[in-house]
Amino acid sequence: MTNRAGNSKENGKPQAADKVISGPEKRDDTWGIVRRLLGYMIGQENRSRFTIAMLLRAVSLVGLVAIPYLTGEAINVLSDPSGTTAALRYYSILAVISGLLFLVLSILSDRQFADLATKGLYNLQTYLFTHMQTLSLSFFDRQPLGQLMSRVTNDAEAVAQFYENAVAQIIRAVVQVGMVLVVMLLISVPLTVTSLIIAPVMLILTFAVERVSTPAFAKMQEEMGNISGFQEETIAGHKVVISSRRQEWASESNKSFANNVFEVGSKAYFTSLLQFPATNSLIIIQTVSVLFVGGFMVLDGQTTLGTVTAFTAYAALLASPLSDIANLLSTTLAAVAGGRRVFQIIDEQPTIVDAPSAQDFKFQGGQVTFEDVDFSYVPGRKILKHNTFEAQPGQMIGICGPTGAGKSTIINILTRYYDIDSGTILIDGQDISKLTQVSLRKQIGVVLQEAFLFTDTVMNNLLYAREGATEEECIEAARQANAHDFITHLPQGYDTLMTERGANLSQGQRQMITIARAMVANPKILVLDEATSNVDTRTEKLIQEGLQRLMTNKTSFVIAHRLSTIRPAHKILVINGGEVVEQGPHDDLMSQKGFYYTLYMSQFKGKAPGGAEAGKSEFVST
């Protein structure tokens, strides 16, 4: 199975044990995370809509708050011997109008808040994904894919629940509590104090639940990321699982991960759900307290029956939003846990950035020069050491060496996926560290060992290579790459839909399409990383023909384990232990009977040549 920390070919890259998210982290507290989440929902372009929604919500609640008062006045009319039918009708009509006002405006405000919730999630997800496109390759090297997907899906879903279910209700609850308190204080201070007795208890209960639930929800999101990572890895490696007869192991491992989610999630939700029965019990105590104190006040002639009745309703209107806030705590805490993980990515900054005075790359033939280049993925652990070589315009440069010697790393720094520690890399005399990344990579085409195709049509996979490319150019590129014939025999030809990563094609067919895609891009410098490995001899010949056409008049770097593929190279760089130990044409290197000779003979003879010279060659990984 693939390494969940990345498919690194060289030792020294961060592995799974390294910290998943590094770089600047904002250690926001709970409410800091909430404020940041709300910013995507009600900030900037959504501010005017939020203002309208708040006004509608406030006016609707005026109608709601008026109903108990009007009801109380109607009861006073009934209990007053001098009360009239007209007065009763008046208060009743006003109560109905208030109810209708609350109903209509609540619907309108809920619609606004629903749109804001959708917009907030849209803003967060699009910003997250767009920001990820700006991050350097080193960020993705140290991220298990499943963890990243969990942050984009599971964590975003937790935030979505907060936007959709919690925000509007919490805002309504806060506004309602404020309005009800004002009215209650105007009507009767003693009864208001009686109603507020439960408030400190509710606050203490909420604080206690938060202290327990917050870390539990954070741990639950982390465990969900772990199971997502395992499932993604296992499904991607299903052939290995099946061929190794490890289905039972996969099922048991998945159960173990799922059990971790269950245990942590049960603790988190159980703690937060305790809020509901406790809050309801407090509300009952509040109602009984108001009736008890109000009853004595009526008997003493300090207030009226209608006022106590109204106050009972106000107590319910006060307790209900407090209960809602408490009951929405689990949704909010889950969103905070998910939001914190999302913001860890958003707060990450690219490690490879353009210099303030960066210039666009100006192609002048394609001369590439390495001058005493050192590089390390992890500070203090050198991968490349003192590498110096030169490629003339139009030359084919072969790169070979044992596994882990640093071959692919040379390509990674040539394309500036990583910045070097020291030394200089020049292309046509221009220091690549002083060039814009876009202009540099536009001129460098890469064909990798593992051909990657998007889940789209063959034609769209080819058009992906260059903005503005035409279908005619793509078809001609496919002809040059020897891919046209098999493409036309596909069920829908160029309109055939590729399954994930082109799984409905053979490996050789996928590689020919990637070569055609590189032809459409028409780069000036070309990198081939094991582009012909793992295919049959006939397919390799077709691929080699396409590659020869692709490399015509281009400076090309060809990484190969099959040394026969780089034998025609103008220069071969022999890498061992992160250093270029030999360089030159094939015949010159063979005549030296050094490291390359040993490597070549061991491959074609099945063993290294005998004698002392062979014994001196030691394969070194970085």
Residue 508 near residue 542, CB atoms below 8 Å: yes
Residue 354 lies in a domain: no
Strand-pairing partners, residue 359, are: 435
Residue 572 near residue 565, CB atoms below 8 Å: no
Return the amino acid letter for 499: T
Q: Which residues contact 561 (CB under 8 A, 6 or more apart)?
A: 400, 530, 533
Same domain, 201 and 241: yes
Residue 610 near residue 438, CB atoms below 8 Å: no
pLDDT tens, residue by residue, 164-206: 888 888 888 888 888 988 888 888 888 888 777 776 776 677 6
The fraction of the chain above a pLDDT of 70, given in percent, is 84
Average predicted confidence (pLDDT) for the chain: 81
Please state, in angstroms and rounded to a whole number, the distance separating the CA atoms of residues 35 and 41: 10
Same domain, 101 and 152: yes
Instruction: Evaluate if residue 572 carries a pLDDT over 90.
Output: yes
Same domain, 413 and 461: no
Same domain, 518 and 529: no
- Which CATH number characterizes residue 118's domain? 1.20.1560.10
Q: Is 287 exposed, middle or buried (0-12, 13-18, 19+ CB in 10 A)?
A: middle
Residue 408 lies in a domain: yes
pLDDT tens, residue by residue, 488-514: 988 899 998 887 666 778 888 888 888
Q: Can you give the pLDDT at residue 28?
A: 54
Please state, in angstroms and rounded to a whole number, the distance separating the CA atoms of residues 113 and 119: 10
Average pLDDT estimate for 386-403: 92
Residue 256 lies in a domain: yes
Please state, in angstroms and rounded to a whole number, the distance separating the CA atoms of residues 539 and 365: 32
Residue 424 lies in a domain: yes
Residue 336 near residue 343, CB atoms below 8 Å: no
- Identify the domain containing residue 174 by its residue range: 30-346
Same domain, 474 and 392: no
Same domain, 407 and 276: no
Q: Can you give the pLDDT at residue 610?
A: 42
Please give the C-alpha separations between residue 238 and each of 4, 220, 245, 295, 589, in angstroms, as whole numbers.
15, 27, 10, 73, 43
Label residue 55 left, alpha or beta by phi (over 0 means left) and psi (-120 to 50 means alpha): alpha
Instruction: Evaluate if residue 588 carries a pLDDT over 90.
Output: yes
Burial per residue of 290-325, b for 16 or more beta-carbon CB atoms within 10 angstroms, e otherwise: bbebbeebbeeeebbbbbbbbbbbbbbbbbbbbbbb
Q: Is the pTM of this model over 0.85?
A: no
Q: Can you give the pLDDT at residue 240?
A: 66
Return the amino acid letter for 281: S
Same domain, 406 and 488: no
Q: Which residues contact 288 (CB under 8 A, 6 or more apart)?
A: none
Q: Is 610 exposed, middle or buried (0-12, 13-18, 19+ CB in 10 A)?
A: exposed
Same domain, 457 and 428: no
Residue 110 lies in a domain: yes
Same domain, 496 and 604: no
Helices (H), 237-347: 238-243, 247-273, 275-299, 305-327, 329-346
Same domain, 422 and 461: no
| Encoded tokens for 192 | 């208001």
- Which CATH number characterizes residue 475's domain? 3.40.50.300
Residue 9 lies in a domain: no
Residue 280 lies in a domain: yes
Residue 20 lies in a domain: no
How many domains does the chain fold into?
3
Residue 576 near residue 402, CB atoms below 8 Å: yes
Residue 293 near residue 196, CB atoms below 8 Å: no
pLDDT tens, residue by residue, 40-84: 998 878 889 999 999 999 999 999 989 888 888 888 888 877 778
Same domain, 334 and 395: no
Task: Give the domain-ending residue among 281, 315, 346.
Answer: 346
Same domain, 470 and 603: no
